[in-house]
Amino acid sequence: MTESIKVGVLGATGAVGQRFVEALADHPWFEITSLAASSRSAGKKYRDAANWRLESQMPEAAADTEVVPVDVNSVDADLVFSALPADLAKTVEADFAKAGCVVASNAGAFRKEPDVPLMIPEVNPEHLGLIDVQRDNRGWDGCIVTNPNCTTIMFTVTLKPLLQFGLETVTIASMQAISGAGYNGIPSMSIIENVVPYIGGEEEKVENEPKKLLGEFDGSQVNPLDIDISASCHRVPVMDGHLEAIWAGMKDDPSPEQVSRAFDNFDPGLSDLPTEPEKVIIVRDEPDRPQPRLDRNAGKGMSVSVGRIRSGIRYIVMGHNTIRGAAGASVLNAELMHKKGYI
C-alpha cells in the first residue's frame, strides 16, 4: 500500500464534507485530488467556498484546491466519498459507480438496496461480499458502499458483543446533537433552552438499519437479524455528540458485569486500518458518564463510550456524530475495502 489512491469528496463544503477533508488531509493511503460541490462553489478555491467550522485549521493543501462540479467528468479520482443529500446522491453516486469509481457514501440513498453493503467494519466486514453481487446485478465496474445513519452506528457497535447473550429486543431513546442537522440545523429559537422530540425519518432508520447490519450474508444476500427495535429520537442543545439510552432484552439474562466485560473485551481485529481506534468501545466507570463534552473526541472521535450499565440490561452509549457517525465511518469503510482488494 505504498502508492496513494486518488480520492475525491462530493459535497466537500458542507458539515460532513469538511470532516472528510479533515480526515483525509494526512491519510497514509489516500490523497485528495478533487473537491466537488454545487455550482455556487465550483470554480472557487476551497478556502473561499467552504465556511470552515471545525476545531482544526483548514488543511493548507485543500485550501488552495479549486472546487469542481459534482460530476464524473470533473472529478479526478478512483475513490469518492459522498456527503451529498440523499436525493442528489441517488443519481450522482450511481453515475460514479457506472464510471468505475468506488463510492464510499454517507448518504442514505442506497442504504436499503439489497445488493448495496451497509457497513460498520467492526460489525459486519463479511458484508463486503455484496460488492460482487452488486457489480453482477448492475453491470458496474465501480461500486457503492454505505455507512448507516449516525444514531444507528453508535448503538449498533455495542449490540455486536451482545449477540452472544441471545439479543432479542432493543429500545433506544436518543438525544442527538444539532450538528446532525447540518450547519443551519434548526432555528436557534427552537433549540435554545429546549428539546425537540421529533427528527423526521430518524426513528425508521434506527429501527431498521441494525437488522441489516447484524444480519447474515449467505453469499448472495443479507438475511436480516430477527430482532425487535423500538426508537424515540430527540434533538437536544448539544453541538456534537449523540447520547443514547439503550434497553437490551437478552435470552441469557446476563449481569451488568458480564455485559461490561463483553464491551471491554470487544476486539474486531482491525488494528491495521489507519482510522480504527485503539479501543472501539470504552467503558466509563464514573456514574455520570459518558457525556458529549467530555467523551466525544475519544479515539480521535472514532471510539464509542458506554456507561451506567445496570440490571435490565440498560446502559448509555455516546459517540461523535459527524466523525464516527459520518465521515470517519465512510473512511473506515474505504480502508477495509482497500485491505480486501476492492480498491
CB 62 within 8 A of CB 302: no
* Residue in the block written with cell 490523497: 31
Identify the DSSP state of 317.
Answer: E
Active site includes 242? yes
| Candidate list 101, 143, 150, 233, residue with the active-site label | 150
The one catalytic residue in 127, 143, 233, 242 is 242
Query: Is 117 exposed, middle or buried, given 0-12, 13-18 or 19+ CB atoms closer than 10 A?
Result: buried
- Per the CB < 8 A criterion, the answer to whether 268 and 121 are in contact is yes
Bond before 290 cis per omega within 30 degrees? yes
- CB atoms closer than 10 angstroms to residue 218: 9
Q: What cell does 343 get?
A: 480498491
Q: On the CB side of 301, how many CA atoms lie within 13 Å of its CA? A: 22
Grid look-up 466523525 returns 323
Concerning whether 27 is annotated as a catalytic residue, the answer is no
Q: Spell out where the chain has E strands.
A: 5-10, 30-37, 68-69, 79-82, 102-105, 143-146, 167-176, 216-217, 222-223, 228-235, 242-250, 281-283, 304-310, 314-319
Cβ atoms < 10 Å from Cβ of 38 = 15
Q: Which residues are catalytic?
A: 150, 242
